[in-house]
Amino acid sequence: MSATMTRAGYAALLGRPNVGKSTLLNRLIGQKLSITAPKPQTTRHVILGIQTLPEAQIVYVDTPGLHRQSGRRAMNRYLNRTAASVLGYVDVAVFLIEALRWTDEDEDVMNRLADFQGPVVLAVNKVDRIADKAQLLPFLQEAAARRDFTEVVPLAAINGNNVAALEEVIVGLLPTGDFPFPPDQITTASERFLAAELIREKLTRLLREELPYALTVEIERFVEEERLVRIHAMIWVERDSQKGIVIGEKGATLREVGRQAREDMERLFDRKVFLQTWVKVREGWSDDERALRSLGYADPDLS
């Protein structure tokens, strides 16, 4: 038996939409893996972020925000099903809420955790936004009383405040074992997948309120050359009017999306990127289970 005992396991990041799960994952990993935007449905897929420490390897599972009205559209049902399904795989659940806010959706997430047999850590995010810190302690006490949480950790994912404390708590809750992934691996996601997500992030940030929910990105060609990656991306929308908005006047919006996405890809892939984007209409794709599967919205496999 080795003198140094290591720990390894999976920790799910769960919470309602826009509570900061993806920002927290990126902070923990130290690199942008999960896309972020101040709108619901930004995260649509389960993304694994692998953090290797000297004594432990934590596989963080970023999930779509759990939300109400799950039966309304196929996309909403897929998002809730995807987020909830990870509880059957993980060792630790990190339930993320926003400081000084407790909503009906937070209550729904907590109820979904009722049958989870592992430890549940309550992470209270966005404490940096609180001007009067005297308000925080009563809120933490009230939140902690809602169920038997293993730990309660206040933090600010955006600037890293107290994130190390959360990491330390999670390490202590993982089972002992060997690392399942190489120490230098930070995700199981493919570069092709990450490219599509970066394009969708730029679209989500640049377009008006409702449109991001009606579009998705499919990488049709991903060719790696010695010092260059050539990427052809198709942006699918649901109506002709949406196509015009995505393209913008004289193609300005689509060019800006491409520029921003390409710059992020070059940083992430550490290579030059040649990116071409097109926009096509596929009516009703977000409310069609078969269309969702064909566009890559498959139930997660964490094995």
Q: Band the pLDDT of 1: cuts 50, 70, 90.
A: very low
Whether the Cβ atoms of residue 22 and residue 34 lie closer than 8 Å to each other: yes
3 contact partners, CB below 8 Å, separation of at least 6: none
Say yes or no to pLDDT of 303 above 50.
Answer: no
* pLDDT tens column, 177-214: 999 999 999 988 889 989 998 998 899 888 866 566 67
* pLDDT tens column, 23-62: 999 899 988 777 665 555 555 567 889 999 999 999 998 8
Compute the mean pLDDT over every residue in the chain, rounded to the nearest whole number: 86
Residue with tokens 């009017």: 241
150 contact partners, CB below 8 Å, separation of at least 6: 119, 120, 121, 169, 173
* pLDDT tens column, 212-222: 667 889 999 99
Domains of the chain as residue ranges with CATH = 7-173 (3.40.50.300), 191-294 (3.30.300.20)
- Look at residues 161, 159, 150 and name the one whose alpha carbon lies nearest to residue 117: 150
pTM, two decimal places: 0.80
Residue with tokens 């074992």: 177
Question: At 40, phi and psi to the nearest 5?
Answer: -60, 160
Read off the DSSP letter of residue 17. T
Query: Whole-angstrom Cα distance, residue 137 to residue 118?
Result: 26
* pLDDT tens column, 85-126: 788 889 999 999 999 999 999 998 898 898 899 999 999 999
